A = this chain, B = another copy of it.
């Protein structure tokens, strides 16, 4: 159900858009929160139109169909946000790897953690540049999600750095 909600949100903020537009918007904005490719988006838009949540506003060149959100769609989005109990379960490979770390030799675990720190440092820099580059007004929509995304990446980065330090100081370092 959440793909539908994400699409309703994008249509609310960006105005009438085609499936193609929405696929690009997905990549460029909501991507760190939710992922979907065009093969999922096109059929979903058709179903949403059948359910009356969006309408085909106009048909352009190359079979382009521009969808607009309906009142029923806006209501659905609002209901989901306000009334639906959020699902807080999350599945992350980072956490699974954290769990499995003690099955490795300390030196191997250290190497993995250090590599992760580097990757997350790079990600952090990219997101922080994005934060700085857009004027606050331009970010607007997506601002809260970007803030959360940056904080979450920093959290994993710091955890990896601290855990590496802890393993190192407890005998995982270089052998004499």
Contacts and interface: CB of A to CB of B under 8 A. Distances in A.
A112 B30 contact: no
Contacts of A103: 9, 12-13, 77-78, 81
Contact of A144 (B77, B86, B99, B152): B99
A109 to B, nearest CB: 9
Interface in A42-100: 77-78, 81-82, 86-100
Contacts of A144: 98-99, 101-102, 163
- Interface centre among A89, A100, A119, A151, by most chain B C-beta atoms within 10 angstroms, is A100
A108 B82 contact: yes
Contacts of A119: 88
A88 B94 contact: yes
Contact of A158 (B90, B151, B158): B151
A155 interface: yes
Contact of A140 (B35, B97, B102, B159): B102
Nearest to A155: B155
A169 interface: no
Contacts of A29: 99
A126 interface: no
